[in-house]
Structure 1
């Protein structure tokens, strides 16, 4: 039964149009990063970037190297859209985009992570087998069919993303609309809608609809009687997010996923009227069936497990941030912090208060006081820089206080712990992060 469900052939029109839209969107994302100053602020100006821990060897290219890097990625996006040397283009883009994601966290975004996952899938999908330069050059490649597992991989990935996002929203500061009010405060000067976004009734609508949309959109798109209504709801939801929160290509990428929920014939009629319909009910499992089942099962087990890891780590993820990333915990918190770093020369027992302006950009300074991995990494960076000058140091954090979602500031980091001597644990709690609530 599972074999027939996954390895029957269906019309490939949804995959073909998705490839075209996907390529155009990633090209716009990459070229946009060049012209909006994102590359300059995030990768060029900083003395060092806050990498994902363990990937410190991934560093931005010097000079104008990152502009060339993004230009190459944008051009690869166009090649993907055109289906030109598709396999090379999508693999190269996936590697380069993953590199950018891992080399900096200051501009972390869940959507960047999702783009890695979708790009990874596209490396294996036969998305260039029609309406592509590759198929035009090699007619033997051309086909109107694909295996149905292509559709169901996308559907399952989206179901995981939206479902975990909905579950994560079911907590106090979302259901009492506190976080929504905070998120909307920075939108007060928006033309026409700014004042409306400050109204309590709007916060209630956004809060309730945010949970309902995430929880129901995938089932509603799958069920034919509600599909069109769900699509227009999705259109409104994502355009609203694009206008209000200005989150790049993601709202339009999310809309592009809709093509996998409609009947292939509908997609063919809309976008490829000259394309022959594929109507056979052909079941022919490929030679790689067992490998595909094992690899897919392992992948989705990891996707199901990663967002749950914070439940097995001590204290509240909203406070500690441990297990937050790659868990689809989107738009859930607003953090601000106050912090001082004290460097102590072990040989001379001489202490110095660090001037953060000497090391960090303004955006990095917004992060450094509120996120424990940033704090630890900065301590390691100080240790490294002082070691290059022949000094053995300890690094202590003073007056560390954090406010989550506008609540009163509370002590965050233990001032007695030498962070330069601490190790980082990806799946364990760090005891130098003070408890979220007072202990008796």
Structure 2
């Protein structure tokens, strides 16, 4: 991956085994820029949550929270403690950016950020997941050897060089959403310009381009442009002759995404972090600050501790290569079942319109009431709940616990869930007669999810959701008690 003009490659023999090249030194400049840019993005993230009072709204004031399977034990703190977690995260981001108490700052940044990420599954975004992974990697990478407070205070630990693997693993991490995002787009819906047509039509009020966003040809053009971009951008970035063209294309792509979609820091983060594909010494060349004549390229000697760190990184890489592919072992379309959808870089692949009603039945009295779910969860939680059978099951347990606290000893929770995927005719996702308390959350396949049978339509289904049950002949449960 390194270019011939980089220090790490000047003395490298073409036949050098790749595993030895992992330890060959390269200029630290691009990794230092990556460290500072990522810390700035994290600080921006903290600022958004604090300035817009999202910490209070999503964590403190919200009485209920969605959880990830296996991490149900991670819960938000009460009162002002969540605010303090974000302040601590911000201080840690400053520490990483300045290279001040770097290792401690990187650990604190990873722990605080990942804690907030896991504490509310309703906030899931692929780039939030990516930020957690990058924060973890920076713990292992000695990105503070140069242009840092630590390097100034302890000059004997300073260096203008860093092992190749540090830069390469960051390149790998930046490549993941591009490559896996492209692979995920190789499905029937995307190849028929769905759901891009939905997403862009919501921005029809934009000046100049707005009227074009409602036209079908624009959906086709953007669908295939996005597919080609995701599949080709990493190879183009790796090849020196096309790198500048690829970076400009990536910048324009992310600027367009920032204009069309509400994905906060992600476009700007990718514009900054994709610079890791340029030569390792590009910041030095840009600033016209060549290495001091006294600096020499160090040897590639390694210690047992360094090899242990690289072993952790290797395990990390293998997991990141394999885990996003797990949806292939599940039957059905993951955009419908959501099995294997999260943490797999499956971005912008589904538009789900949903009709959903929850019902609680007091078994002893034989009374049934509708659960006012829209008054119990906030908008982001509802958005995640209605598309995910797993979250529906998890939330049913929450409703059952609330019913028991209200004095109902034996309760059954059922749901009528009608879903229109990418403009299809709506169909049931769950058997309305199924007591959701009889099924468990699991990594395995959930056979109770009704398979997708409706084909993609030439014209999207356009009936208001409140009319779906009558239109489809679905009879809602009789409500015998009101809230």
Question: So what's the TM-score if we normalise by structure 1?
Answer: 0.93
Task: Tell me by how many angstroms 1:44 deviates.
Answer: 3.2
Task: Tell me by how many angstroms 1:342 deviates.
Answer: 1.7
Query: Contact 2:403–2:411 (CA<8 Å) still a contact in 1?
Result: no
Root mean square deviation of aligned Cα: 2.1
In structure 1, what is the Cα distance between the partners aligned to 2:246 and 2:66? Answer: 39
Bigger Rg, structure 1 or 2? 2
Pairing partner for 1:296 from 313, 331, 347: 313
Match of 2:386 in 1: 369
In structure 2, what is the Cα distance between the partners aligned to 1:214 and 1:276? Answer: 40
Match of 1:269 in 2: 285
In structure 2, what is the Cα distance between the partners aligned to 1:185 and 1:244? Answer: 10
In structure 2, what is the Cα distance between the partners aligned to 1:207 and 1:228? Answer: 24
- The answer to whether structure 1 residue 284 and structure 2 residue 301 are counterparts is yes
Pairing partner for 2:170 from 141, 147, 154: 154
Task: Tell me by how many angstroms 1:290 deviates.
Answer: 4.1
Query: Contact 1:13–1:272 (CA<8 Å) still a contact in 2?
Result: no
Match of 1:121 in 2: 137
- The answer to whether structure 1 residue 198 and structure 2 residue 195 are counterparts is no
Moved more, 287-296 or 381-390: 287-296
Pairing partner for 2:411 from 394, 406, 430: 394
Structure 1 segments unaligned to the other structure (5+ residues): none
- The answer to whether structure 1 residue 85 and structure 2 residue 101 are counterparts is yes
Match of 1:177 in 2: 193
- The answer to whether structure 1 residue 418 and structure 2 residue 435 are counterparts is yes
In structure 1, what is the Cα distance between the partners aligned to 2:21 and 2:368? Answer: 67
Pairing partner for 1:22 from 34, 38, 43: 38
Task: Tell me by how many angstroms 1:3 deviates.
Answer: 2.9
Task: Tell me by how many angstroms 1:66 deviates.
Answer: 2.4
What secondary structure does 2:354 align onto? strand
Match of 1:94 in 2: 110
Task: Tell me by how many angstroms 1:419 deviates.
Answer: 1.2
Match of 2:345 in 1: 328
In structure 1, what is the Cα distance between the partners aligned to 2:296 and 2:250? Answer: 29
In structure 2, what is the Cα distance between the partners aligned to 1:62 and 1:290? Answer: 41
- The answer to whether structure 1 residue 430 and structure 2 residue 421 are counterparts is no
Q: How does 1:22-41 map to 2 (within 5 A)?
A: 22-41=38-57
What secondary structure does 1:106 align onto? helix
Cα distance change of structure 1 residues 74 and 271 upon mapping to structure 2, 3 Å threshold = farther
In structure 1, what is the Cα distance between the partners aligned to 2:309 and 2:83? Answer: 37
Cα distance change of structure 1 residues 143 and 371 upon mapping to structure 2, 3 Å threshold = same
Task: Tell me by how many angstroms 1:287 deviates.
Answer: 2.6
Moved more, 118-127 or 351-360: 351-360
In structure 2, what is the Cα distance between the partners aligned to 1:5 and 1:358? Answer: 58
In structure 2, what is the Cα distance between the partners aligned to 1:163 and 1:132? Answer: 33
- The answer to whether structure 1 residue 408 and structure 2 residue 425 are counterparts is yes
In structure 2, what is the Cα distance between the partners aligned to 1:369 and 1:263? Answer: 45
Deviations 1:124-144 (A, max 9, x none): 111111111111111122110
Deviations 1:67-114 (A, max 9, x none): 332222122212211111111111111111111111112121000111
In structure 2, what is the Cα distance between the partners aligned to 1:79 and 1:365? Answer: 36
Pairing partner for 1:385 from 381, 402, 407: 402
Cα distance change of structure 1 residues 167 and 319 upon mapping to structure 2, 3 Å threshold = same
What secondary structure does 1:264 align onto? coil
Match of 1:138 in 2: 154
Cα distance change of structure 1 residues 153 and 362 upon mapping to structure 2, 3 Å threshold = closer
In structure 2, what is the Cα distance between the partners aligned to 1:210 and 1:279? Answer: 44
Q: How many pairs are equivalent? A: 437
Query: Contact 2:30–2:281 (CA<8 Å) still a contact in 1?
Result: no
In structure 1, what is the Cα distance between the partners aligned to 2:299 and 2:439? Answer: 59
Question: So what's the TM-score if we normalise by structure 2?
Answer: 0.85
Query: Contact 1:394–1:421 (CA<8 Å) still a contact in 2?
Result: no
Task: Tell me by how many angstroms 1:43 deviates.
Answer: 2.0
Deviations 1:10-66 (A, max 9, x none): 110111111111111110111112223433442234221101123222222223332
In structure 2, what is the Cα distance between the partners aligned to 1:295 and 1:367? Answer: 33
In structure 2, what is the Cα distance between the partners aligned to 1:271 and 1:90? Answer: 27
Cα distance change of structure 1 residues 136 and 130 upon mapping to structure 2, 3 Å threshold = same
Pairing partner for 2:179 from 163, 188, 204: 163
Moved more, 47-56 or 67-76: 67-76
